[in-house]
Structures are given as structure tokens and as C-alpha cells.
Structure 1
Amino acid sequence: MPVLPGAEPFRHDGGEIGVLLCHGFTGSPQSLRPWAEYLAERGLTVSVPLLPGHGTRWQDMQLTGWQDWYAEVDRALRELLDRCEKVFVFGLSMGGALSLRLAAKHGDAVSGLVLVNPANKVHDRLAVVLPVAMHFVRSAPGIASDIAKPGSDEVGYDRVPTRAAHSLRKFLQLVDAELPQVTQPLLLLHSPQDHVVPPADSARILARVSSTDVTETLLEQSYHVATLDHDAERIFADSLAFIGRLAGTGEREGAGTGG
């Protein structure tokens, strides 16, 4: 199947500092493209892979599960680690959960994490019946484009494949158990008004990780897809400053001047 316009993976070869960006469930690299381009323009090496089953049509996602999605970001991380001196991992929504597992599994090879509205649990009241329902109901209404900013849209599916949603639920349970293994510096930005992932998910992640260098930022003007919303520039500038502080790159490649 052809990839939806704008949903293509993104890669930019820059300096010795690398950033892997992980998109969300039923979403695509389009939700992270402005962030990726912002970092690339400032000299960083950037990778935004397209997760298997995403960016085409929701039916394709029925054939994939969390093992496929995680394998893709793991592959992309290893590519960056082979090329760069330091690598940071950023994630939106389920991409935040993927990022946390990468941090838990790769340890000090990941220099820091930036998470935007990271998912920790499937909160839909029907989630518990997914193991049975997925055999009878193929899809449910979509969750894309939860954005406050007028005219800003996310390229994602208008349906959620139930089989994939069941896999997501199992994955988030797995990641939750691994959170104490996360020790890296962490910048977590979340929206008080999020119609997909409630603030409770961010609170649980912050309570369970073992990181000691932790910054929590509220995105008061944005909904779930904050990287395409009113607070996007703040996310971009704060993440660049986070890299600059930890990588010691200063103005050359990472600190920026935004706050």
C-alpha cells in the first residue's frame, strides 16, 4: 500500500548528536515532522521511522503488533548509536512508551528522554473485553487529530484496529513493569486537556521511573498531539535546551536560546 502523503519516514544526517523520534498509535511521522525539522536545522542527526502497519490504511495495522513497532524503533536506535556519539530518544503518546522501553533496555546508550503526553494504559472502558471483541469487531472510532489549534491536522487513521489495540494494551502493561529500569535524564511535557491520554499516565510514569534528573512541564494550550498544537515551539525549544545541557553542545549543536 502507498504511504499517505506526509506520513513518510524522515531522516537527516547531521552532527554527532542523534535524536530518534517515535510517533504514536495509529499516527505517523507527520505528527513529529516539524519537531524533527527543527532539530535537523540546528545540526542534529535525526531519525523518525514509520512504524509497521502505520501510515497506509488501518486494515494494514491489523497484521501488526507491539513486537513489530518496537523492533522498528530498536533498529532505528541502533543505526543512530552506530553513527553518533550521543543519542536521545523522543516520543509522543505510544511513542513515549516505546521510548521508555528503549531506555530500559539500552541503558546508558540512551543519553536522555523527552516524552510528550506519553501513554501508560489503555483507558477505554471496553479495553478489558478486547481479547474477545477483536474476533468479532475489527475496528473502533479513531483517535487522531486531538489538537486545539485551528487548521492543524494529524495524518492518522480514522479507525482503531481492535487486534492492534489489544496488542497495545499488552505492551503498555509490559512497559509499566519496566519503568523502574529507566534511569536516564527525563523531560516530560503533558497537556492537562488531553482527550486521548489522561494526565494520570504522566503522573504514574514520573512516580515509577528511577531517573533523578526529571523535569515536568505543563502544556496548557494544547491537546494530545501537542507537537502540532499551540505549544509546539515550546516543546521544540525545551527539547533542544535539554540536549544542549546534557551533551554540552551549547550554541553549536543543541542548547538553543528558547526556554
Structure 2
Amino acid sequence: MTIHPTLHPLASPLSVPARPELTGGRRIGVLLSHGFTGQPASIKPWGEALAEHGYGVEVPRLPGHGTTWQDCNTTTWEDWYAELSRVFADLRRTHDAVVIGGLSMGGALTLRLAADHGDAVAGVVVVNPAVATGRKDVKLLPVLKHVLGSFPGIANDIKKPGVEEHGYTRTPLRAAHSMFRAWPGLVADLPRVTAPLLYLRSTVDHVVDDLTQPLVVSGVSSRDVTEVSLPESYHVATLDNDLPTIIEETAAFVKRVTAA
């Protein structure tokens, strides 16, 4: 495997095999995706905790992430989705049931997977997902991306003192435009999401605004939707004060939706 010369030391994927002896003899897989300009380190504590319950956990590194923002600008939503789809297909082949989840853009990517794969998805967990924004400068991206390479970064929206997300300090505009262009199609396809949904949302989020939550909750066709508030965390809740709540709620959800 070729290692990118500027790969961040914490950007390696997480891959933990299932332990069916802890899950009633069934092999349960969990796929988790990090967010835009982030990397696996931002959700590894979440994944590692779920692995302790016996679940086979995969946290891939999305293309263009964990290296440089310039590298990210050479990738698109389609590249990120293709990587998640590849890992999801592997999990489906080797596990009895698979739950998917993600933080921020990772939540949007997993909703896309759920819309595209129907009953193959046992459940979906999203933490502060993003499928819409009220930011007016987004409308200028088709032009700005040709003039400017990046904007100031969005990393480290964390309430807990001294915690580092290790995301990019700049937001790559070509890559960002690719993400924003994918959102309308995803929102239109949300009715195809029929799997149980666990929606974890920070009370205060300086990255994702209030438009996404009603679109997702009212848009999916799933009759099993659980919303949980995270009052002590900002956007990167998977590294923040409410991480124990995220772990507890996710573990209980995975156990419930994958029960034989």
C-alpha cells in the first residue's frame, strides 16, 4: 500500500474484527465515517468503544483527508462515497448485519448509503449531519473555487478544553463545492431511507446550522427515528463532553436493530 508523504500520524484507518462470541454468535459490523476536512482520529474513540462490545468496526480514511487541504481539493463527494461504498460492501460480505454512521459530512454520506442500499442497512447513526446550509457564500463557490484555493478552516469546534480534532486549518473550496452540489440529490432521496435512524445533535453547533435536522427527520421514510440531544458538546461531539452519551446510545441502538 502506498503511503501519502504528508499523511498525518493519526490519520490511519481503524479496522477491528468482529467478536461474535460477544454478540450472540452473530457477526455485527459497524461502519463509521469522519467528516469534511477531518480524519479518522475524530471518531476513533467512538469506534473503539463499539469494538469493545464485539462489533466489527471499520473507520476508513476518506480520499484527500488526513494529508493536506490541497490534496483534498483534488477529490470529490463521489470519491468519498466510493470509498465508503467499498468498505460497506466488504462488511456486508463478512457480517450478518451492518450498521452505518457518521459525523457531519460523514452523516450525509451514510444517509446516501442508506438511501441506495435499503434493507442491506440494519440501522443509521448520524452525529450533527450536514445536508443543507443557509450560508450565502456557498452560492459564490462556483466562481470562488477558481479564484481562491481555500477559506479559513472549520475544525476544532469542540467545547471540551484542550481537545484537538487534527482537521485542516483551511477549507478546500473545490472539494467543498462538490459536497454542496451533492446535498440536493441526497435530500430528494431521503424518503428512500427506511432503516432505523439514531440522530444525535449538539445543542450548540457552530458548523452545521438548523436547516439539516428538520430535513432529515421529516424526509426519511423510517418509522423508527430516535433523536438525542447533546447539551455539552459543539460540532465535533465525538471528541467532546457528550462522547459517553454517543457511545451508550449507539451501542444500545446497534444491539436493538441487529437483534436476530
Aligned partner of 1:254 in structure 2 is: none
Q: Secondary structure at the match of 1:194?
A: coil
- Tell me how far apart the structure 2 counterparts of residues 146 and 191 of structure 1 sit (CA, whole Å): 11
User: Structure 1 residues 210-219 or 172-181, which shifts more?
Assistant: 172-181
Aligned partner of 1:37 in structure 2 is: 48
Q: Secondary structure at the match of 1:217?
A: strand
Aligned partner of 1:257 in structure 2 is: none
AA partner of residue 69 (structure 1)? W
Q: Secondary structure at the match of 1:134?
A: helix
User: Structure 1 residues 240-249 or 204-213, which shifts more?
Assistant: 240-249
- Tell me how far apart the structure 2 counterparts of residues 190 and 200 of structure 1 sit (CA, whole Å): 12
Match of 2:166 among 148, 155, 159: 155
Aligned partner of 1:5 in structure 2 is: 9
Q: Secondary structure at the match of 1:106?
A: helix
- Tell me how far apart the structure 2 counterparts of residues 169 and 181 of structure 1 sit (CA, whole Å): 20
Aligned partner of 2:239 in structure 1 is: 228
User: Could you report, residue by residue, the CA deviation over 1:101-138 in whole angstroms, capped at 9, with x for unpaired residues?
Assistant: 00000110000001000001143321001011111011
- Tell me how far apart the structure 1 counterparts of residues 7 and 50 of structure 2 sit (CA, whole Å): 24
- Tell me how far apart the structure 1 counterparts of residues 105 and 231 of structure 2 sit (CA, whole Å): 21
CA contact (8 A) 1:192 1:199 kept: no
How many residues align? The count is 249
Q: Note the 1:35-184 alignment, pairs <5 A.
A: 35-184=46-195
AA partner of residue 10 (structure 1)? L
AA partner of residue 134 (structure 2)? H
- Tell me how far apart the structure 2 counterparts of residues 3 and 79 of structure 1 sit (CA, whole Å): 24
Q: Which runs of 4+ in 1 moved over 4 A?
A: none
1:217 aligns with 2:228: yes
CA contact (8 A) 1:9 1:49 kept: yes
CA contact (8 A) 1:190 1:199 kept: no
- Tell me how far apart the structure 2 counterparts of residues 189 and 55 of structure 1 sit (CA, whole Å): 25
- Tell me how far apart the structure 1 counterparts of residues 49 and 6 of structure 2 sit (CA, whole Å): 27
AA partner of residue 13 (structure 2)? P
AA partner of residue 144 (structure 1)? A
Q: Secondary structure at the match of 1:27?
A: coil
User: Could you report, residue by residue, the CA deviation over 1:152-187 in whole angstroms, capped at 9, with x for unpaired residues?
Assistant: 110110001110111010111221111111010000
Task: Report the CA distance shift for 1:8/1:123 in structure 2 as closer, same or farther (over 3 A).
Answer: farther
Q: Secondary structure at the match of 2:231?
A: coil
Aligned partner of 1:14 in structure 2 is: 18
User: Structure 1 residues 197-206 or 91-100, which shifts more?
Assistant: 197-206
Gaps of at least 5 residues in structure 1 are 250-259
Q: Secondary structure at the match of 1:227?
A: helix
User: Structure 1 residues 121-130 or 148-157, which shifts more?
Assistant: 121-130
Task: Report the CA distance shift for 1:74/1:53 in structure 2 as closer, same or farther (over 3 A).
Answer: same
RMSD: 1.0
CA contact (8 A) 1:23 1:31 kept: yes
Aligned partner of 2:23 in structure 1 is: none
Kindly state the Cα deviation for residue 58 of structure 1 after the two structures are TM-superposed: 0.3
- Tell me how far apart the structure 2 counterparts of residues 143 and 117 of structure 1 sit (CA, whole Å): 14
CA contact (8 A) 1:118 1:197 kept: yes
- Tell me how far apart the structure 1 counterparts of residues 13 and 184 of structure 2 sit (CA, whole Å): 27
Q: Secondary structure at the match of 2:146?
A: coil
Gaps of at least 5 residues in structure 2 are 20-26
Kindly state the Cα deviation for residue 73 of structure 1 after the two structures are TM-superposed: 0.3
Aligned partner of 2:203 in structure 1 is: 192
Kindly state the Cα deviation for residue 200 of structure 1 after the two structures are TM-superposed: 2.7
- TM-score, normalisation: structure 1: 0.94
User: Structure 1 residues 168-177 or 66-75, which shifts more?
Assistant: 168-177
